[in-house]
């Protein structure tokens, strides 16, 4: 039998680990980007929108593994967005173990909204 405080401890580890991993990947990509393109003049005044390969999770992953710096940063951002999603996923499991059907259902709703945003938004 697991207790609420154990669940809370695991959630804390999960959140901290996720943020640390995401920040490390972002930092790595950032250093690589500045080393290659540090002298380019940035222009963010007019909104153009990011290219497709920096928008879709599968394309970000593919580009990042070719070593493209901005895609590596974006992979870190994706990991960051996935951290709360993983936390909610973990909560589903915790409520299943606690046999709390009502909260399993509620947590699944939250998870569905998050996945919808990430995959279909």
Beta carbon nearer to another protein, 38 or 66:
38
**Token pair for 14:** 């999960």
For binding to another protein (CB under 8 A), which residues are involved?
Answer: 4-5, 7-9, 11-13, 15-16, 18-19, 22-23, 26-27, 29-30, 33-34, 37-42, 44-51, 54-56, 70-71, 73-74, 77-78, 80-85, 87-88, 91, 102-103, 106-107, 109-110, 113-114, 116-119, 121
Smallest distance from another protein to CB 74, Å: 4
Distance CA 73, CA 78 (A): 9
Beta carbon nearer to another protein, 1 or 44:
44
Which run of H or E residues covers position 96? helix 69-97
Ordered DSSP codes for 33-68:
HHHHHTTSPP--SS-----GGGTSHHHHHHHHTTT-
């Amino acid at each position: 039998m697991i207790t609420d405080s154990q669940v809370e401890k695991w959630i804390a580890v999960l959140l901290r680990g996720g943020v640390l991993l995401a920040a490390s990947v972002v930092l790595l990509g950032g250093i690589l980007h500045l080393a290659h393109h540090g002298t380019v003049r940035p222009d963010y005044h007019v909104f153009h929108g990011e290219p497709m390969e920096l928008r879709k999770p599968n394309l970000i992953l593919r580009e990042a593994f070719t070593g493209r710096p901005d895609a590596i940063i974006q992979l870190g951002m994706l990991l960051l967005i996935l951290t709360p999603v993983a936390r909610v996923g973990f909560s589903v499991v915790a409520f299943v173990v606690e046999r709390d059907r009502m909260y399993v259902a509620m947590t699944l709703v939250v998870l569905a909204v998050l996945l919808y945003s990430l995959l279909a938004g």
